[in-house]
Amino acid sequence: MKLAFAIRPDWDVAIDAAREAARRARASGHAVAEVRLDSSALAREVAGAEVAIVFGGDGTMLRAARSLAPLGIPILGVNLGRLGFLAGGSIEELDGFLAEIAAGRFSCEDRTLLEAKLRPRSGADLDVLALNDVVVARGREVRSIHIDVKIDGAPFTVYWADGLIVATATGSTAYGMSVGGPLIIPSSRAIMMVPVAPHLSFPNAVVLDVDQTIALEVLDEPARLSVDGQEEHDLRVGDRIEVRRAKAVARFVRTATMRPFLTLLRKKILKEEGGPA
């Protein structure tokens, strides 16, 4: 089978791990394309690959999901970072995972992506994808900002807060949970919205139907748009961000021997090692 081994090009540890793993995979009879996630020719380089193996941490998995999901290629993360919640497998487990994949003992779990369209007051529109979250927050000045929210075109509320997070179920265990949002099982297609440090504003998280559209209008500046905590854009008063479920989905490979989500949650997030898996 053909595999794509994907890395971010600025991390030597990932480069070395991918190179050695590719050598072993080729020796086992697999065709391997070694690719960089920032390659301008990524679609051509991964064409025909049945699975993309992503070497790095959870940040690399976020980049991989945004790059590879529109191409329809399932991804499997090999954790070389600290947390390893999205990239749940280790380098020591990789050969076993590849054997399971080659034998057909795997499935794909679809994860919802967000599509955000930035409509600035002046300038061209910008479309971005997010696996975890889209955040509108205050800029460098330490003060709250006002954000006008509409849901499916109808007025909802004006938040006065440090920011507002719109997150997928996958992102619910990231920034959203850190500010008191609900934990949503990642296979859910629900979208949640939760304010950051709201001041005299509606403080609770809101869980929305998968097909609803959220429109955020910035009423104060300076403000920033953040996508998965990795891509940022300055915002001005009057700029609008429309957030909805993307047509593309991120497909996460699950083999028979991979740890299930709740086990990873207890170990990585809740820090509970004991008890039944």
Cα(204)–Cα(70) distance, rounded to whole angstroms? Answer: 33
Place of tokens 């990231």: 174
Place of tokens 């749940």: 88
Cα(163)–Cα(135) distance, rounded to whole angstroms? Answer: 7
Between the alpha carbon of residue 55 and those of residues 7, 8, 60, 200, the distances in Å are 5, 8, 7, 44
Q: Which residues are catalytic?
A: 58
Q: Give the three-state DSSP class for 225.
A: strand
Q: Which two tokens stand for residue 131?
A: 């696996």
Strand partners, 225: 136, 233
